[in-house]
Structure 1
Amino acid sequence: MAGITDDIVATVLESIEEKKFDGDEQKAELIKKEANQFFKDQVYDVAADLYSVAIELHPSAILYGNRAQAYLKKELYGAALEDADNAIAIDPSYVKGFYRRATANMALGRFRKALADYQAVVKVAQKDLDAKAKFEECQKIVRRQAFLAAISVDHDKKTVAETLDISKIAVEDAYEGPHLEDKITIEFMMELIQKFKSQKLLHKKYAFKMLLDFYNYVKTLPTMVEITVPAGKKFTICGDVHGQFYDLCNIFEINGYPSETNPYLFNGDFVDRGSFSVETIFTMIGFKLLYPHHFFMSRGNHESDVMNKMYGFEGEVKSKYTQQMSDMFTETFCWLPLCHLINEKIFVCHGGLFKEDGVTLDDIRKVDRNRQPPDEGIMCDLLWSDPQPISGRSASKRGVGCQFGPDVTSKWCEANGIEYVVRSHEVKPEGYEMHHNGQCFTVFSAPNYCDQMNNKGAFITITGDNLTPRFTPFDAVPHPKLPPMAYANSLFGFN
């Protein structure tokens, strides 16, 4: 992706150099116009790079604000915050700077800071109905957080799972679809998938039963699940799926449905953005319950309350089922394992390695995962970090986690007896990418991400006696005309 972006940026700049202009300010303005068009066309990498060139020539609040918006679209919240700060420093009356900073803080779960920025906008633009709506919605979230914090000291407070009484949920005679009596069968799963493909829902009673059984099972799992793949047996690792249910089904069509002889590991970010996240997660839950020792799921950074509120999963569950079910998903996601270790040699996590040296596998095993992701520490890094090509560590442009170099990966793998790390978390043109001299691999399994990136998806296969990763790229398949982010919180600009 970087090479393609660099080529496009170079071509644009060459065409601009052929023109005459009066100084750097006019040249920066021309580059900004080109960047704006790329942003409009949803080519955010190119737009951000062009804004950067323009900023070097003649920095302005608008340029920083525009680049901040491009970074927000790329989920680089830390970089967006920095640009919003720069925009406000140049022009304290630049309202969009406060908007951008508030949106980044919202995505990072820093709701009180976001509220302060929305409040600043409302004071300046008292007739701005959009600003007022954002302020009021953010205020509700802050108040709800305060309420939840106040009652959290009540150790007698029961979870949704503890209060749920499935026996009281009736199945109407008019319901046409799979019935779940006791345990899930392969026949139930095939019928369920066909039901979902026809854009119909599983009955609420059975959906709650699946979720409750899944909740009770994942609570028993360790933070790091260890997997043994026998010699000669295949094992498949998939990356982000992000609610792209029809592409998930295509993986199974290409590579075979999950079974005791065809095991899978899905490496986080099952939900959000894609508008079929409910269908996706229930399909995965079903296979996990059917094949508990041959179907594995790692938590991603989008299996969290903040992300689900912003990027659509909460809205989708509420639309298709109920708020109670959404709350139960929040509880359940907190129990998902954070990583997997395959044959003691392949370490698989959603994000990446650590801000600090010396983290061991035993340290990871001891992490208390039953919580929302923190801003620092082992759990944060496992969910949020990214590899970088240069040595050492850098602050993450995402605002949490870190960027880690090849020396960090090499040292950590050697200390822990690991051959290589598999992680996901980033879109790649071919669906995968090799980093750090083959000691780190990214795999991403949501092709044409958000219906706009034109990337391939991919999955990895290994065998127990040959751990060399083999990559299978695949293209997106058609899906019903429901756009991505259809259930996202439109107030905060994430859709």
Structure 2
Amino acid sequence: MASAVEQATAYKNDGNKAFAAHNWPKAIDLYTKAIELNDKEPTYLTNRAQAHIKSEAFGYAIADATKAIELNPKLIKAYFRRAVAHAAILKPKDAVKDFKKCVELDPTNKDAKLKLAECQKIVRQLNFYAAIEVGDEPSAAEGLDVDSIAIEPDYDGVKLGDQITQEFIDDMIERFKTGKKIHKKYVYQIIIAVKKIVYDEPTMVEMKIPDDVKLTVCGDTHGQYFDLMELFRLNGRPAEKHWYLFNGDFVDRGSWSTEIALLLYAYKWLRPNGFFLNRGNHETDDMNKVYGFEGECKAKYNDRVFKLFSESFSALPLATLIGSKYLVLHGGLFSDDNVTLDDIRKVDRHSQRQPGQAGLMMEMLWTDPQTAPGRGPSKRGVGMQFGPDVTKRFCEKNGLDAIIRSHEVRMDGYEEEHDGRCITVFSAPKYCDQTENRGAYINIGPDYKLSFNQFDAVPHPPIRPMAYANNSLMSMM
């Protein structure tokens, strides 16, 4: 019979196979079994830390790397992975300390030196921004005379007048498929028009599904334009009797984020009462600066386009209430049991704009469910986690059947947790070309029954995820 140490090694080897197959949850489970049998082997912890990084559980990755360092203070891999996790949750000063340790332990480590330099550059930028920070800047739309911008005679797309049309959207969809852009004048028009529409919506949009309408709820799309096209192919495009709700994280990571944002905005302009957008944690400035959207806007259009998008993101609603039965929000529930739907209605998103490190807006965008009762520290290192009892109390107190949230990869594209009262939907299959997950979406009819639908990734042009991210750190994730 195999000893505990031998069995632990077998679990670790199986974990490595699962990791190689890009099945991060299975790898984490196998590494955990190895650790339970032999908790003195630091490489099991660094392996699990890397699987946590791949599944964006950066807080757990930091904890595992820290334990590995306690077991072996000279383990470079542990410092390296902890640094990567710190960088991912926008804590570059902590990352700098760990990359410095890597270089100290191995002065020939070129990768650690490169990443150390990147982190130091980010810290300098943050210090610079903090030093010059002023009050409310004027809108990026100020001084922008859109009407006077001329369309060149050789522009081969459908022209856009004062109002968006289905013909323009259909043409835009095909242009984006072939790598073409729309004219920057039209980009300005779309963002400015939609910012006004969403600004005037309440923080929690409340809607009912009419008798002859189907509503589709989608989770994160993360710039995976060709997979969104597959979703529309299978499920139908937005139409008068087919409403859509996109639950945040339209942008970042995937390299067609401007295409998705512009398409969703164009539909919002065309159908303001039948197409809904919630804000996600990636519709925020700090994430966009690191995870690619700012760089993509500048590469494909210009800096002003990013600033206009930033203003429009901060105007997006934070939640949608469907028929008083389902609360749809990007992240999850709250650190305080006393929070009600009324408290969500009262959140002043226009004065706060960015979610910050605490408060209702941050929790709505960042929190995650856990299987254990009560509340726990976030596996991400940002926000917190809430258990089935928290979900039950919230739903009962507010007369809800369930909450629907996104924010996390699910291998099946969706998951029903907390006795069916917490539903996660994620609509980016084969996330970042690395995770072997399916995508999903939820159809809801006038009877408010939920119908779960899965779909698979489709091929896309050879542009890698994070192609527009502004530093090499992100290549580690």
TM-score (norm 1): 0.88
For structure 1, which segment, 173-182 or 30-39, has the greater mean C-alpha deviation from structure 2 after superposition? 30-39
Alpha-carbon distance between aligned partners in 2 of 1:357 and 1:177, rounded to the nearest angstrom: 52
Structure 1, residues 159-202: CA drift from partner, whole Å, max 9, x if none?
32335444565433333223223211111001110111122111
Indicate the SS of the match to 2:173.
helix
Alignment of 1:79-158 (within 5 A): 79-155=60-136, 157-158=137-138
Contact 2:466–2:475 (CA under 8 A) maintained in structure 1:
no
Q: CA deviation at 1:27?
A: 5.0
TM-score (norm 2): 0.91
Q: 1:422 aligns with which of 373, 386, 404?
A: 404
- Partner amino acid, structure 1, of 2:170: M
Alpha-carbon distance between aligned partners in 1 of 2:305 and 2:105, rounded to the nearest angstrom: 40
Contact 2:115–2:472 (CA under 8 A) maintained in structure 1:
no
Contact 1:107–1:307 (CA under 8 A) maintained in structure 2:
no
- Relative distance call for 1:339 and 1:111 in structure 2 (3 A) is same
Indicate the SS of the match to 1:398.
coil
Alpha-carbon distance between aligned partners in 1 of 2:76 and 2:341, rounded to the nearest angstrom: 47
Q: 2:348 aligns with which of 368, 376, 387?
A: 368
1:273 aligns with 2:273: no
Alpha-carbon distance between aligned partners in 2 of 1:368 and 1:281, rounded to the nearest angstrom: 24
Q: How much is the aligned-residue C-alpha RMSD, in angstroms?
A: 2.5
Alpha-carbon distance between aligned partners in 2 of 1:49 and 1:434, rounded to the nearest angstrom: 20
**Structure 1: segments with no counterpart, 5+ residues:** 1-16
Contact 2:118–2:472 (CA under 8 A) maintained in structure 1:
no
- Relative distance call for 1:63 and 1:404 in structure 2 (3 A) is same
Q: What percentage of aligned pairs have identical amino acids?
A: 49
Match of 1:303 in 2: 283
Match of 1:40 in 2: 20
Match of 1:402 in 2: 384
Match of 1:327 in 2: 307
Alpha-carbon distance between aligned partners in 2 of 1:26 and 1:253, rounded to the nearest angstrom: 50
Alpha-carbon distance between aligned partners in 1 of 2:321 and 2:97, rounded to the nearest angstrom: 43
Match of 1:204 in 2: 184
Match of 1:457 in 2: 439
Match of 2:153 in 1: 173
Contact 1:178–1:202 (CA under 8 A) maintained in structure 2:
no
Q: 1:215 aligns with which of 184, 195, 198?
A: 195
- Partner amino acid, structure 2, of 1:439: R
Match of 2:473 in 1: 491
Match of 1:6 in 2: none
- Partner amino acid, structure 1, of 2:173: I
1:52 aligns with 2:32: yes
Alpha-carbon distance between aligned partners in 1 of 2:9 and 2:373, rounded to the nearest angstrom: 36
Contact 1:24–1:58 (CA under 8 A) maintained in structure 2:
no
- Relative distance call for 1:423 and 1:283 in structure 2 (3 A) is same
Indicate the SS of the match to 1:272.
coil
- Relative distance call for 1:171 and 1:50 in structure 2 (3 A) is same
Contact 1:107–1:306 (CA under 8 A) maintained in structure 2:
no
Structure 1, residues 75-126: CA drift from partner, whole Å, max 9, x if none?
0011011112112222233222222222212221222222332333344444
1:385 aligns with 2:367: yes
Alpha-carbon distance between aligned partners in 2 of 1:115 and 1:329, rounded to the nearest angstrom: 31
Alpha-carbon distance between aligned partners in 2 of 1:295 and 1:435, rounded to the nearest angstrom: 27
Q: CA deviation at 1:442?
A: 1.8
For structure 1, which segment, 127-136 or 200-209, has the greater mean C-alpha deviation from structure 2 after superposition? 127-136
1:61 aligns with 2:26: no
- Partner amino acid, structure 2, of 1:330: S
**Structure 2: segments with no counterpart, 5+ residues:** none
Alpha-carbon distance between aligned partners in 1 of 2:437 and 2:12, rounded to the nearest angstrom: 26
- Relative distance call for 1:164 and 1:257 in structure 2 (3 A) is same
Aligned residues, how many? 473
Contact 1:25–1:58 (CA under 8 A) maintained in structure 2:
no
Contact 1:274–1:484 (CA under 8 A) maintained in structure 2:
yes
- Partner amino acid, structure 1, of 2:192: L
Indicate the SS of the match to 1:437.
coil
1:238 aligns with 2:218: yes
Contact 2:330–2:366 (CA under 8 A) maintained in structure 1:
yes
Match of 1:439 in 2: 421
Q: CA deviation at 1:29?
A: 4.3
Q: CA deviation at 1:360?
A: 0.9
- Partner amino acid, structure 2, of 1:132: K
Alpha-carbon distance between aligned partners in 2 of 1:95 and 1:283, rounded to the nearest angstrom: 45
Greater relative contact order: 1 or 2 (C-alpha under 8 angstroms, separation 6 or more)?
2
- Relative distance call for 1:387 and 1:69 in structure 2 (3 A) is same
